[in-house]
Structures are given as C-alpha cells and as structure tokens.
A = this chain, B = another copy of it.
C-alpha cells in the first residue's frame, strides 16, 4: 500500500486541482471561466489553484486578446500530463486494493 501512496502527488490532493487537471486531460485548452462554471469556484480560489499548478510547471498559460477582450486559456504541460497520469495510476491501484 505504501508504494501507491508514495506515487500520490500532493499537488493533486485538493479536489479542485483534481478537477482542473482532469478537465485539461480531456481538453487541449480550457478558459478561466469554463473552469469557474464547471467547478463552481470563486475567481480568487480558482486563480490560486491555477497559480500553484503553473508554478509546479504542470500547466501552461496563454493570454491573448480576442475582439479586443483579454482571454486566458490553460493547457496541460508534458510534465503535468505525466505527473497526473502517475497520480491517477496510484489512485487506481489503491482503489483496486481497497475493493479486493
């Protein structure tokens, strides 16, 4: 059991970050407001979680102007994709062992 727990990444512990990464695994790009709606978060709460993931190099941020309005989109980085896969595999192994 310990070996699975070692692979569980503290960066993805929080359910918000679990949600953010899950969305980024199935979408190449996600807008700030889409996260807000899907995860039911305040701007401040969401921004701080995104900052943490960005600081760890797990997500990339793109800021651009569309019809003169600022648009911020996020995507998973290769390192983020790899780290999250390891995390999910560890969760799956823990769940399988718990279900047996």
Q: Could you list which residues of chain A lie within 8 angstroms of chain B, going by C-beta atoms?
A: 1-2, 5, 8, 10, 13-15, 18-19, 22-23, 25-26, 38-40, 84, 88, 91-92, 94-95, 97-100
- B8 x A100 contact (CB < 8 A): no
Chain B residues whose CB sits within 8 angstroms of the CB of A10 once the complex forms = 15
Nearest-CB residue, chain B, relative to A95: B88
Q: Report the 10 A-B pairs with minimum CB-CB distance, sorted nearest first.
A: A8-B15, A25-B98, A22-B98, A5-B19, A88-B95, A22-B94, A13-B13, A2-B38, A91-B91, A13-B15
Known contacts A2-B40, A18-B5; is A95 also within 8 Å of B91 by CB?
Answer: yes
**Complex Cα gap A54–B25 (Å):** 35
- A1 x B23 contact (CB < 8 A): yes
Give the Cβ gap from A56 to chain B, nearest Cβ, in Å.
16
Chain B residues whose CB sits within 8 angstroms of the CB of A25 once the complex forms = 98
Known contacts A1-B38, A38-B2; is A94 also within 8 Å of B18 by CB?
Answer: yes
